[in-house]
Amino acid sequence: MSNSYLRLLFLLVLYIISANSSQPYEENYEDAEFTLQVPTLEDTDLDNLLSFSYYRKSCPQFESILHSKVKEWIKKDYTLAASLLRLHFHDCSVRGCDGSILLNHEGSERKSQVSKTLRGYEIIDDIKAEVEKQCPKTVSCADILTTASRDATVELGGPYWSVPYGRKDGKVSIDKEAEMVPMGHENITSLIEYFQSKGLNVLDLVVLSGAHTIGRTSCGSIQYRLYNYKGTGKPDPSLDTKYLNFLQRKCRWASEYVDLDATTPKKFDRMYYINLEKKMGLLTTDQLLYSDPRTSQLVSALTTSSVFEHQFAVSMSKFGVIDVLTGDDEGEIRTNCNFVNAY
Ligand code: HEM
Ligand SMILES: *[C@@H]1O[C@H](CO)[C@@H](O)[C@H](O)[C@H]1NC(C)=O
């Protein structure tokens, strides 16, 4: 048996384990309509579950409104696809997928230093305005952001996954809490622990990091790797020499942007992992996935097959239901994603 075949097998085993561990959620969604038949449950209990058919009666046009808006914005500026995906990551990372990142008041997550480079808020506002026109006070900002990140992924050639609906919007957003989102300087142990704290495993960490197959960062955030890494007076030795040369030329200004995937930045594909094998990971946390024994096997497996596409959909489905608020007493349907309802 070849080495790459073994790797694939290894990955598939993990895939099955992770698919099984996400079973409870799926059961909930699919049973959502069925539980209506159970006499001991009152109607309100339905609100406590996410469901694929949540808006089927109240806003059947939601998905098509959202889809055409996302498509329109990305056609004008493809870099917004990555920004939407990252916005969703930051939303779910703090207080779950509750739209708390969208709240735009003094001292909110959005106003934190670490949120400074987040973009795409105007797309969510645009979708929300149209959805409010057609189905007032029905669709949550949290559901809009979750679904927009899925459609953004698909627009750039990535996989599709079904999003269950019924997330309520949170009323609390605190800037300090945004600082727990990983920023690219962490070690693998703390990344694994961080993901574990969200109910995600090592495979989810490696697969979701694959989102860096699109998007960019500013040169300022990686400059420390280029000349005087950790006070050695030399560049980071884990960078490929040619790539280092390219980065040194590209990054004369800290404000310049540089693609996270140097090879196919406009395409949602598995090149991210192939780049890591070539020492072309831009963030240190990306490159570490390939040098750390706990994650390197998975990186290699993801380069040699199309498992990435399938597993990204699985991991994103798990990600999109982190700590969701579902009860009427837990959250609300905001009418404007920027503000908590006044009533
Ligand atoms: C594993 C831990 C992660 C770390 C340390 C990390 C770190 C970063 C950093 C430092 C940037 C550059 C931000 C900037 O300079 O503006 C970035 C960008 C990005 N991240 Fe992550 N990230 C992680 C996980 C994720 C996950 C789970 C997703 C989504 C599923 C994601 C999606 C993105 C995207 C799409 C961009 C590009 C944003 C843009 O172009 O506007 N990241 N990430
Ligand atoms: C990883 O980072 C954490 C948090 O910064 C730190 O406490 C820990 O000692 C680091 N572990 C290793 C192995 O460097």
187 CA distance to ligand 2 middle (Å): 6
Ligand 1 atom closest to the CA of 215, numbered from 1: 40
pLDDT tens series, the chain, 343 aa: 455 555 655 555 555 455 444 443 443 444 444 444 443 444 444 446 899 999 999 999 999 999 999 999 999 999 999 999 999 999 999 999 999 999 999 999 999 999 999 999 999 999 999 999 999 999 999 999 999 999 999 999 999 999 999 999 999 999 999 999 999 999 999 999 999 999 999 999 999 999 999 999 999 999 999 999 999 999 999 999 999 999 999 999 999 999 999 999 999 999 999 999 999 999 999 999 999 999 999 999 999 878 999 999 999 999 999 999 998 899 999 999 999 999 8
Statement: 14-181 belongs to CATH 1.10.520.10: yes
- The backbone torsions φ and ψ at residue 338, rounded to the nearest 5 degrees and listed phi first, read -80, -20
Q: Is the C-alpha dihedral spanning 93, 96, 102, 106 positive or negative?
A: negative
Interhelix angle for 79-93 vs 141-155, to 10°? 140
Domains of the chain by residue range: 14-181, 188-317
219 CA distance to ligand 2 middle (Å): 25
Q: Taking the mean position of all CA atoms in its chain, how far away is CA 307?
A: 18
- Closest residue by CA, ligand 1 atom 19: 86
- The backbone torsions φ and ψ at residue 201, rounded to the nearest 5 degrees and listed phi first, read -100, -175
Domain range 188-317, its CATH number among 3.40.50.2300, 3.90.170.10, 1.10.420.10, 1.20.58.1910: 1.10.420.10
The answer to whether residues 241 and 248 touch, using CB atoms and an 8 Å cutoff, is no
Tell me the residue ranges of DSSP E strands in the chain. Answer: 216-218, 257-259
- The backbone torsions φ and ψ at residue 51, rounded to the nearest 5 degrees and listed phi first, read -155, 145
Known binding residues for heme b: 212
- Closest residue by CA, ligand 2 atom 4: 190
Q: Give the ligand with the smallest distance to the CA of 285.
A: 1
The Cα–Cα gap between 231 and 234 comes to: 8
Q: Residue 84: is it exposed, middle or buried by C-beta count within 10 angstroms (0-12/13-18/19+)?
A: buried
What proportion of the chain, given as a percentage, has pLDDT over 90?
84
43, HSE (Cβ side, Cα atoms, 13 Å): 0
Long-range contacts of 11-19 (CB under 8 A, 24+ apart): 11/203, 11/298, 11/301, 11/302, 11/305, 11/307, 11/311, 12/307, 14/201, 14/203, 14/298, 15/203, 15/307, 15/310, 15/311, 15/314, 18/201, 18/203, 18/204, 18/311, 18/314, 18/315, 18/318, 19/314
The Cα–Cα gap between 155 and 283 comes to: 24
Fold agreement (14-181, 188-317): no
Q: Give the ligand with the smallest distance to the CA of 192.
A: 1
190 CB near ligand 2 (under 6 Å): yes
Known binding residues: 91, 94, 96, 98, 100, 109, 182, 212-213, 261, 264, 269
DSSP states of 181-250 = S--S---HHHHHHHHHHTT--HHHHHHHHGGGGS-EEEGGGTGGGTS-GGGSSS--TTS-HHHHHHHHHH
183 CB near ligand 2 (under 6 Å): no
185 CB near ligand 2 (under 6 Å): no
Nearest to 279 by CA among 266, 291, 297: 291
265 CA distance to ligand 1 middle (Å): 14
Model confidence pTM above 0.95: no
- Closest residue by CA, ligand 1 atom 35: 82
Ligand 1 atom closest to the CA of 216, numbered from 1: 40
| 143 CB-near residues (< 8 Å, 6+ apart) | 54, 163, 165, 166, 167
The Cα–Cα gap between 322 and 91 comes to: 10
> Position of tokens 């469901």?
51
| 259 CB-near residues (< 8 Å, 6+ apart) | 215, 216, 265, 282
Q: Give the ligand with the smallest distance to the CA of 188.
A: 2
187 CB near ligand 2 (under 6 Å): yes
Nearest to 314 by CA among 149, 203, 161: 161
94 CA distance to ligand 2 middle (Å): 21
Q: Give the ligand with the smallest distance to the CA of 91.
A: 1
The Cα–Cα gap between 234 and 45 comes to: 61
pLDDT digits (tens, 9 = 90+) for 242-298: 999 999 999 999 999 999 999 999 999 999 999 999 999 999 999 999 999 999 999
The answer to whether residues 104 and 173 touch, using CB atoms and an 8 Å cutoff, is no
Query: Of the residues 88, 90, 185, 310, which is catalytic?
Result: 90
> Position of tokens 């409870």?
24
315 CA distance to ligand 2 middle (Å): 25
pLDDT digits (tens, 9 = 90+) for 137-169: 999 999 999 999 999 999 999 999 999 999 999
Total length of the chain: 343
Pocket test for ligand 1, best of 212, 221, 251 (most atoms within 8 A of CB): 212
Nearest to 318 by CA among 29, 73, 5, 11: 29
- The backbone torsions φ and ψ at residue 173, rounded to the nearest 5 degrees and listed phi first, read -150, 120
90 CB near ligand 1 (under 6 Å): no
**Would residue 90 show up in a list of annotated catalytic residues for this protein?**
yes
Average pLDDT, the chain: 90
